[in-house]
Amino acid sequence: MSRFMSEKFASLTPYTPGEQPKNMQYVKLNTNESPFPPSQTAQTLASAAAKELQLYPDPECRTLTQAVADTLGVDFSQVLLTNGSDEILNFAFMAYCDENTPAVFPNITYGFYSVFAELNRVPFVEVPLKPDFTVDVDTLCKTHGTVFLANPNAPTGIELAQSEICRILESDPNRIVVVDEAYVDFGAQSAVALLERYPNLLVTQTFSKSRSMAGARLGFGVGSADLICDLNTIKYSTNPYNINRMTMAAGLGTLQDAEYTAQNCRTVMETRAETMAQLAALGFEMTESKANFIFARHPKLDGERTYLALKEKGILVRHFTKPEISAYNRITVGTREQMDLLLAALAQILEETV
Ligand code: PMP
């Protein structure tokens, strides 16, 4: 850090993205990207948009915002597109948390929430997950502040039932509940249908996972028109042109190819089920994942050593050092071929260990 860095950020620990080593060709199962390329229409529209990059993009993103609204069955005024869903999450921290309104989230969840809280200098309360890694809704309902819930949760993949989300929303109608649905398309139920009943609900989603567009950076928030108005105030005060032309075009193409996305999601879910069955046969224990990743541990293997042994064999998975989950690894569901390589490597590691 230079001596010029503002004191307010001196102790900020930034988010650590999944590693992207370039020293060799890895089987990359560590950042929950889609194993499938973006839709053909997305690619075609993005290259056409490249011809107009001398012009600023539409700050209101009208065409794509309307297309997202139509897909979700909500009004144009209820949607705000952002540069990945990380950006809408940060906007929500900026808009709905302050020294009197802490952020509240489970102790095991998406690691960026605590970073956003620190960046925005707002206090945060971590509610411990129950021993089975499910959210402790009773305790959460008794807290005060803005709730951030990844559903399915990361890195466990466990889905919180919609009735439980309603209970949190009803625990205090004067607090905002943000439901982060980055992984919702792999078998979980979306809370978008609850928006009509709960003006304190904000749902965020992303094009990075099910829609194969992690490299384009596109996400969105959906909520009441009033909430979207708040978040637009933040957007126009930070980066009015937050979605570039190529990303906007690719997003539109992806929505036009909805069946391609749906088929990819079905394939990921099938591969997840097959891989989990094979991991179970090797003795692995796993959570019930509704996401495009598997959260697994083995009674005879150390979590970190398994991660390192896989890396040595050219396979990247994600290991977290928090003691509650350090026995586990989070494995992105890739192609069938990638999963076969993973299973073979794990079988070998087990043989070498026991
Ligand atoms: N929420 C969760 C739970 C995530 O795991 C991620 C991906 N790292 C995001 C949000 C943000 O994804 P993106 O910014 O690519 O939309």
Q: From the alpha carbon of 31, which atom of ligand 1 is closest?
A: 8
Write down the number of H helices and E strands in the chain: 11, 12
Q: Is the pLDDT of residue 296 over 90?
A: yes
Domains 18-36+259-353 and 40-256 equal at CATH topology level: no
Confidence of residue 145 (pLDDT cuts 50, 70, 90): very high
Centroid of ligand 1 to alpha carbon of 283 (angstroms) = 30
pTM of the predicted protein model: 0.97
Q: What is the DSSP letter of 122?
A: -
* Count of all residues that appear for the chain in the document: 354
Cβ of 19: how many Cβ atoms within 10 Å?
12
The pLDDT assigned to 305 comes to 96
Amino acid residing at 293 = F
Q: Where does the pLDDT of residue 16 fall: very low under 50, low under 70, confident under 90, or very high at 90 and above? A: confident
pLDDT > 90: what percent of the chain? 95
Say how far apart CA 59 and CA 57 lie, in whole Å: 6
Ligand 1 centre distance from Cα of residue 272 (Å): 19
**Average of pLDDT values for 171-184?**
98
Rounding to the nearest 10 degrees, give the CA dihedral for residues 192, 77, 240, 2: -30
Residues ≥6 apart with Cβ < 8 Å to 238: 91
Instruction: Report the pLDDT value the prediction gives residue 84, as an integer from 0 to 100.
Output: 98
Q: Calculate how far, in angstroms, residue 4's C-alpha sits from the geometric centre of ligand 1.
A: 31
Ligand 1, residues 112, 135, 204: which to mutate, most atoms within 8 A of Cβ? 112
What percentage of the chain exceeds 70 in pLDDT?
100
**Whose Cα sits closest to atom 7 in ligand 1?**
182
The per-residue pLDDT of the chain, averaged, comes to: 97
**Residue 19 confidence class, pLDDT cut points 50, 70, 90:** confident
Alpha carbons within 13 angstroms on the beta-carbon side of residue 113 total 25
Q: Which of 110, 116, 178, 181 to mutate for ligand 1's pocket (most ligand atoms within 8 Å of CB)?
A: 110
Candidates 116, 58, 78; CA nearest to 204 is: 78
Give the lowest-confidence range in 14-23, 68-77, 123-132.
Answer: 14-23
Q: Whose CA is nearest to atom 1 of ligand 1?
A: 182
* Distance from the alpha carbon of residue 155 to the mean position of ligand 1, in angstroms: 11
Question: pLDDT band for position 24 (50/70/90)?
Answer: confident
Compute, in angstroms, the gap from residue 180 CA to the centroid of ligand 1: 8
| Dist. CA 237 → ligand 1 center (Å) | 23
Run of H or E residues at 162: helix 162-171
Longest dimension (CA), the chain: 61
Spatial separation of the C-alpha atoms in residues 262 and 60, rounded to whole Å: 27
Mean pLDDT of 155-184: 98
Whether ligand 1 lies within 6 angstroms of the CB of 180 is answered as yes
Judge if the beta carbon of residue 84 lies within 6 A of ligand 1: yes
Considering only CA atoms, which of 243, 268, 116, 131 is closest in space to residue 186? 268
- Domains of the chain: which residue ranges? 18-36+259-353, 40-256
Beta strands 293-297 and 79-82: pairing type?
Answer: unpaired
Residue 113 CA, ligand 1 centroid: distance in Å = 10
Fold of 40-256: Aspartate Aminotransferase; domain 2 (3.40.640)
Two tokens at 234? 């933040």
pLDDT for 210 equals 98
Give per-residue pLDDT as tens, 219-250: 999 999 999 999 999 999 999 999 999 999 99
Q: How many CB atoms within 10 Å of residue 225?
A: 13
Of the pLDDT bands very low, low, confident and very high (cuts 50, 70, 90), residue 138 is: very high
Q: How far apart are CA 58 and CA 228, in angstroms?
A: 17
In angstroms, the CA 302 to CA 234 distance is 44
CB of 242 sitting under 6 A from ligand 1:
no
**CATH number of this structure's domain 18-36+259-353, picked from the four choices 3.30.70.20, 3.40.640.10, 3.90.1150.10, 3.40.190.10:** 3.90.1150.10
Which ligand 1 atom sits nearest the alpha carbon of residue 110?
Answer: 3
- The pLDDT of residue 315: 97
- Torsion angle in degrees (nearest 10) through CA of 192, 194, 198, 199: 20
- From the list 230, 221, 146, the residue with the least C-alpha distance to 182 is 221
Distance in Å, CA 182 to ligand 1 centroid: 6
Yes or no: say if 104 and 125 are a contact pair by the CB < 8 Å rule: yes
Ligand 1 pocket: which of 90, 108, 204, 206 to mutate (most atoms <8 Å of CB)?
A: 206
* Ligand 1 close to Cβ of residue 253 (< 6 A): no
Token look-up 């690619």 returns: 43
The residue written with tokens 């919180």 in the block is 160
